[in-house]
Amino acid sequence: MAKHRQPRSNSASGGKSGKPAAATAWEGQAAWYDERHGAGGDRLHSEVVLPAVLRQLAAAPGDRILDCCCGQGVLARLLASQGNSVVGVDAAPALIASAKERAGPAEQYLLGDARDLAAVLDGSSFNHAAVVLALQDLDPIEPVLAGIAQHVAPGGRLVLVMTHPAFRIPKQARFGWDEQRSIQYRRIDGYLQPRSVPISTRPGQDAELASTSFHRPLSHYLNALGAEGWGVVACEELCSPKRGSAGRKQEAEERAAREFPMFLVLTAQRLG
């Protein structure tokens, strides 16, 4: 692979284009999100999501990795601690500032829009890339996948982690209780129709903290990857680490938690 180029550091106004980074509701949530995750991530990240990303990236020490939509840098820090150099890109200035505060020498964080990576990455190249729990915040996704393909060498992997598009459709999926059979079921009211749905980035808090979640069926993700130069090579379906509440429904709730995957991991390889 050709010698890797480093992107230049950018200012709060965005990348070399000077365009402001995309507005993201996560900016208003940065303090809460940073406190929740700290250096190593919350329970979902540390027990479920990050181990899956490491398995799927299968990075060798010294590999350069792009963490697209890096948030406060929870994945990038972990990769750096394992001997990788990492560039994180995110549109929320406060999350980029938190990531920079904890950054070691192998981490670089840039403010930018994932849908216009060329503007911020300045021709730099990577062995592999990841987008963790962010694709559902982005629309459209095709420029994101195309932009990453421009910066990853043929054969390099892209690991996508998303809320499961078949089981976690915003406002269209929920658990229910079947009294007769004593089972917890998952009810799906809509799936094939793409949707943009306002959701709270911090459940239980006020509406001004809402973000838009974009639902697309699985075929949209697979077709977009193929169209932008990626071939899917692996898939994992991950369950939430949450378990049933104590009481008569506990066993059934735990079975449902183990049976219905809440997160989908797609690993794709850059086609030559």
Q: Does 268 bind ligand SAM (CB under 6 A)?
A: no
Other beta carbons within 10 angstroms of residue 183's beta carbon come to 16
Q: Is 162 exposed, middle or buried (0-12, 13-18, 19+ CB in 10 A)?
A: buried
- Interaction of residue 115 with ligand SAM, rule CB under 6 A: yes
34 makes contact with ligand SAM (CB under 6 A): no
Query: Which CB, 110 or 225, lies closer to ligand SAM?
Result: 110
DSSP secondary-structure letter at 238?
E
Residue 64 and residue 98 in contact, taking contact as beta carbons nearer than 8 Å: no
Least distance (Å) from ligand SAM to the CB of residue 204? Answer: 17
Is 210 a binding residue for ligand SAM by CB under 6 A? The answer is no
Q: Does 264 bind ligand SAM (CB under 6 A)?
A: no
Q: What is the CA radius of gyration of the chain?
A: 19
Q: Is 76 in the site for ligand SAM (CB under 6 A)?
A: no
User: Is the Cβ–Cβ distance between 185 and 208 less than 8 Å?
Assistant: no
Out of 7, 26, 107, 162, point to the residue binding ligand SAM (CB under 6 A): 26
Q: Give one word for 11, left, alpha or beta, with left for phi > 0 and alpha for psi -120 to 50.
A: beta
Q: Rule CB under 6 A: say whether 137 interacts with ligand SAM.
A: yes
- The DSSP secondary structure of 27-41, one letter per residue, reads GGGHHHHHHHHTTT-
Identity of the residue, 99 or 225, whose beta carbon is nearer to ligand SAM in the bound complex:
99
Using rule CB under 6 A, residue 164 touches ligand SAM: no
Nearer to ligand SAM, 140 or 231 (CB): 140
Contact between 135 and ligand SAM per CB under 6 A: no
Q: From the CB of 113, what's the least distance to ligand SAM, in Å?
A: 5
Contact range with ligand SAM by CB under 6 A, out of 110-118, 119-127, 191-199, 255-263: 110-118
DSSP labels, 133-192:
S-GGG-S-SHHHHHHHHHHB-TT-EEEEEEE-TTT--TTTEEEEEETTTTEEEEEES--S
CB of 190 to ligand SAM, least distance (A): 23
Q: Assess 111 for contact with ligand SAM (CB under 6 A).
A: no
Q: Which is nearer to ligand SAM, 56 or 184 (CB)?
A: 56
132 near ligand SAM, judged by CB under 6 A: yes
Going by C-alpha positions, the residue among 161, 168, 203 that lies closest to residue 186 is 168
Six-digit token string for 11:
């200012």
**Quick check: 92 binds ligand SAM (CB under 6 A)?**
yes
If one asks whether residue 96 binds ligand SAM (CB under 6 A), the answer comes out as: no
Kindly tell me which of 63 and 90 has the beta carbon lying closer to ligand SAM. Answer: 90
Inter-residue contact 149 to 206 (CB < 8 Å):
no
* Interstrand relation of 128-132 and 64-68 (parallel, antiparallel or unpaired): parallel
Question: Is cis: bond before 203, omega within 30 of 0?
Answer: no
Q: Which is nearer to ligand SAM, 45 or 270 (CB)?
A: 45
User: Binding residues for ligand SAM, per CB under 6 A?
Assistant: 22, 24, 26, 69-71, 74, 90-92, 95, 113-115, 132-134, 137-138
